[in-house]
Structure 1
Amino acid sequence: MFNSPYHALLSDAVDNALLHLYSEVSASTRFFPTIKRNEILVRYLKPKLKSPKYKLVKAELKIMIGIGRNPEGNLEAKLIELNQLANKNRQNTTDAHSLFQLMELLDAEHNFDSKLFNPDIISVADVIYILPEHIEHCFADDGKQVAPVSLFIESDRTTELLLAIDNSELFTTELKEWNEQKKQAHILLHPIKAEKNTR
């Protein structure tokens, strides 16, 4: 069921909306109450109403935007609920969704927080930084990864991070650059879906 174009499109919209929200929130030190989070999500979803790509799920997008505009609504909670429902039912997740899953896993099980890289903010050790343009350009409209995603980290736990990512079976890693003195690493994430699908 979740492999149909309709469900793939709906999952894509939900995953990318949550990624966008958490990217904006992580790039700031401010507290974001529900009403502000709703505004960020509505701003992200609204242009998709006019996109031919999202024609199949236009009605659902309108409902989401309606929840976000309701003073009592909590669009983030609704999107998380949809995300979890899709997780339980679909067999093939998109690569964009896998990135979201990976960041959650690394934070919850290995204490590696993740943030969008901002040159104006001082980097913190043991935090994974992702380039904002990579979230936008490394994934196609259907959520499939089309280019390696770069991760940057300053940590003496880099080997642990590489193992954690490889063991997640969501992506494979490539240590692109390593500065031993500064303990800084540039890691590339490659998709593994193609390998799985050929078996």
Structure 2
Amino acid sequence: MYSLLEFLYEEEALESKLLDNIDNRERGILYILAEEIEKVFNEHEQQMSPLSLFITSPYALDLLRAIHSHGFFLSELKHWNPITHQACILITPHPLLRTPAPHP
């Protein structure tokens, strides 16, 4: 996940932040709900379910292409409001690149 956020920052100049309240968002910043991180990652730091990314930007749909070009994640548009430019994008690790969880 960190490599994707770093890639988006370097390649797309897209800053990312943790968000405690979904109503306090700035335009052009990629947000991840802090509480959701605890739910989607296991004790081995593997992503086990889709993670929601939130952004308000007229270029939000271009983010899907950027995530796919990174190569480690698949992305899906969950919500798009063409008037407010608010988007919710779900990301999941690419199934061919997922490493199995270590055995206890």
> Which of 103-112 and 118-127 deviates more?
118-127
Runs of 4+ in 1 over 2 A off after TM superposition: 118-122, 194-197
Indicate which of 58, 64, 70 corresponds to 1:156.
58
The alignment's TM-score, normalised by the length of structure 1, stands at 0.46
SS in 1 for 2:96: helix
Tell me: CA distance 1:124–1:145, structure 2 relative to 1, closer, same or farther (3 Å). same
SS of the equivalent of 2:61 reads helix
Partner of 2:29: 127
Structure 1 distance, partners of 2:55, 2:45, is 25
Shift of 1:180: 0.8
Write 1 or 2 for the structure with the bigger share of strand.
2
- What residue in structure 2 maps to residue 180 of structure 1? 82
Q: Which residue of 2 aligns with 1:195?
A: 96
Q: Deviations over 1:121-140 (max 9, x none)?
A: 73111100101012212111
1:91-121 CA-to-partner distances (Å, cap 9, x unmatched) read xxxxxxxx11111111111011001113287
Aligned match of 2:101? none
Identity %: 37
Q: Is the 8 A contact 2:22 2:33 kept in 1?
A: no
> Which one has the bigger helix percentage?
1
Note the alpha carbon deviations across 1:72-92, whole angstroms, 9 max, x for none.
Answer: xxxxxxxxxxxxxxxxxxxxx
Q: Distance in 1 between matches of 2:69 and 2:22?
A: 33
Question: Which of 24, 45, 54 is the equivalent residue of 1:143?
Answer: 45
Q: CA RMSD in A?
A: 1.7
1:171 to 2:34 alignment: no
Q: Distance in 2 between matches of 1:114 and 1:170?
A: 18
Q: What's the secondary structure of 1:135's corresponding residue?
A: helix
How many residues in Structure 1 have an aligned counterpart in Structure 2?
98
Higher relative contact order at CA 8 Å, sep ≥6: structure 1 or structure 2?
A: 2
